[in-house]
Structure 1
Amino acid sequence: MRFVLGVVVAVGLLGCGGPEEQGVDAVESIGQEIVGGVEARPGAHPWNVSLQQYGSHFCGASLIRVSATKEESDIVVTAAHCVYDGTARLTASAGVHDLNRPGAGAQTVNGVKTVYHPAYNPRTTMNDIAVVKLEKPLKFSATVQPILLPLPGEVVPDNVEATVAGWGLTRENGQPSSVLLQVGVPTIGHEDLRAMYSKAGIAIDRYAMLGAGYRTGGKDACQGDSGGPLFLPGAQGKPVLQGIVSFGIGCARAGMPGVYTRVSNYIPWINTQVRLLSDTARQ
């Protein structure tokens, strides 16, 4: 899902972290869209996780590292609105490109506990972030890798290209994609984002939210991409999780870019949840 206030909404996703590989690789000459995007190269985004209930994808998530020494993790980060209404029979699938044909590199584990931010407000979507504790850790491999987290309070520059990817709808009111799609979208300054959403009566918080998209529309994430990562290259050139797909109005509409949870604002909270929940981190 992707969330919208009072309207059907949509937002995007993608991630970082594996062997120093493909970054934003895409399969060329494929016309499929996240909305206005392309099919990701299989294995290019090994941090991307599909959250499922009863075997059906409903949101994205990002695998993060919880131990400096162990090549596995039992924590994924997603949007609070993805897990706010309960998560019966929740599973997390990593290392998947095509949801209909997971492949030998896929790993699927049960989620045993979800924790959303205590100040999450479903009406305003403030603090739209959550973690899922997995029943057993996902083992790092060529197709399963964690994404890097930003520094606390790290500022994302305006007008730089970020990447979002997921298995969501390929157009507003359209159909979901079984294969992982990606799209590049430029980051948008706070004042511009605030002005665009104020016309719809939606408040944008400078510290909790990050905007990315084109003023003319055409490229965006959509429903089903929620909770997935928005990433930019970090100082060492490796992708860093800067945003979590949160909300928007429609999908890829002009003047309504996607709004993402600003991850750098929540690093202390994420670290606290890892200490409290992760068996891998404590071992």
Structure 2
Amino acid sequence: MAILALLLLTATASAVAATNRIVGGADASIETYPAIVQIEYLNSTTWSHGCGGNILSPTYVLTAAHCVDEDDPMRIRAGTSYRETGGTVINVESYLIHPDYNKFVFLDADIALLRLEQALVYGPSIQPVAIYAQGIEVPGNSAVVFAGWGDTQPDGEPSTILQDVTVYTVSYEQCRRIYGREVTHNMLCAGVLGVGGKGVCFRDSGGPLYYGNVLVGLPSWHLGCASKRYPGVNTKVSAFTDWIVANAV
């Protein structure tokens, strides 16, 4: 808990533009994003990457609730820029899905905690991420950054190396006009409206959306990949900070 508390920010920081530009992204180094992890799933005898996650403490990872496999083993891979190779691999011991997940609106409260069997050892490529205090909002049209190993185009293949891409937040009001009641105040929309070509795709779910160096969103759902009409919809982390702090112990 002490580690998480140290990384809990109580005031909005200014956005920091990424040096690189997932779909429409560029190769990135794990040392730039040391809090990101791969979540791997056991299919028969083969482990494969399916979602992203975010290091909160040596034993807790934050991800999207829909990334939790309730029937089969899961593990995380930390500290490597490359998909399904290198780094540190640790099994997931248990998980906690937010009690409001899917309760009122499909994929609302799409957030979960993974508890690891062993503690991660911090270093240049493995570090915890900062989150905002409950209720802090990111302004509309702010530059934010996605990172992950997801598909680089619709119906494409996942990237073998970590990617990042800069997009822009879309206000709740504008996103609600686009999607309707499917968007709630627990969600944060981001994309490049009117242009498209940059954003998350399949297998990026649960990974990071950064505002500066702060984790503000978890990719949750989207219509198309990097669409110019439909922004990606993310779980707004600051809507659940109190729940995270109360349970990541």
**TM-score per shorter chain, which class?**
0.7 to 0.9
CA distance 1:133–1:244, change in 2 (3 Å): same
Q: What secondary structure does 2:131 align onto?
A: coil
User: What is the CA distance between 1:24 and its match in structure 2?
Assistant: 3.5
Aligned residue number for residue 212 of structure 1: 190
Q: What secondary structure does 1:226 align onto?
A: coil
Tell me, yes or no, if the aligned pair for 2:133 and 2:241 is still in contact at 8 Å: yes
Tell me, yes or no, if the aligned pair for 1:166 and 1:225 is still in contact at 8 Å: yes
1:141-152 correspondence runs (5 A): 141-152=123-134
Aligned residue number for residue 121 of structure 1: 102
Q: Deviations over 1:121-175 (max 9, x none)?
A: 0861110000000001111101100110111111111111000010100011111
User: What is the CA distance between 1:82 and its match in structure 2?
Assistant: 0.6
Report how many aligned residue pairs link the two structures.
Answer: 229
Q: Deviations over 1:9-32 (max 9, x none)?
A: xxxxxxxx8xxxx98444xxxxxx
Tell me, yes or no, if the aligned pair for 2:102 and 2:108 is still in contact at 8 Å: yes
RMSD value, Cα: 1.8
Q: Paired residue for 2:61, among 76, 79, 83?
A: 76
Distance 1:87 1:248 in 2: 25
Q: What secondary structure does 1:138 align onto?
A: coil
Aligned residue number for residue 69 of structure 1: none
What letter is aligned with 1:261?
T
1:71-110 correspondence runs (5 A): 73-83=58-68, 85-86=69-70, 88-102=72-86, 106-110=87-91
Question: Unmatched 5+ residue regions in structure 2?
Answer: 1-6, 8-15
Aligned residue number for residue 271 of structure 1: 245
Aligned residue number for residue 206 of structure 2: 227
Distance 2:192 2:216 in 1: 18
Detail structure 1 runs of 4+ shifted over 4 Å in the superposition. Answer: none
What letter is aligned with 1:136?
Q
Distance 2:59 2:73 in 1: 17
Tell me, yes or no, if the aligned pair for 1:23 and 1:44 is still in contact at 8 Å: no
Q: What secondary structure does 1:59 align onto?
A: strand
Tell me, yes or no, if the aligned pair for 2:189 and 2:234 is still in contact at 8 Å: yes
Aligned residue number for residue 111 of structure 1: 92
Q: Deviations over 1:21-62 (max 9, x none)?
A: x98444xxxxxx910111113421100100001220010000
Distance 2:100 2:122 in 1: 32
Tell me, yes or no, if the aligned pair for 1:25 and 1:41 is still in contact at 8 Å: no
Distance 1:42 1:115 in 2: 26
Q: What secondary structure does 2:141 align onto?
A: coil
Tell me, yes or no, if the aligned pair for 1:40 and 1:181 is still in contact at 8 Å: yes
Q: What secondary structure does 1:81 align onto?
A: helix
Aligned residue number for residue 167 of structure 1: 149
1:242-281 correspondence runs (5 A): 242-275=216-249
What letter is aligned with 1:114?
Y
Q: Deviations over 1:199-254 (max 9, x none)?
A: xxx52112x00000011211110000000010112xxxxx1110011111110122
CA distance 1:100–1:62, change in 2 (3 Å): closer
What letter is aligned with 2:40?
Q
Tell me, yes or no, if the aligned pair for 2:22 and 2:148 is still in contact at 8 Å: yes
Question: Unmatched 5+ residue regions in structure 1?
Answer: 1-16, 27-32, 66-72, 234-238, 276-283
Identify the structure with the greater strand proportion. Answer: 2
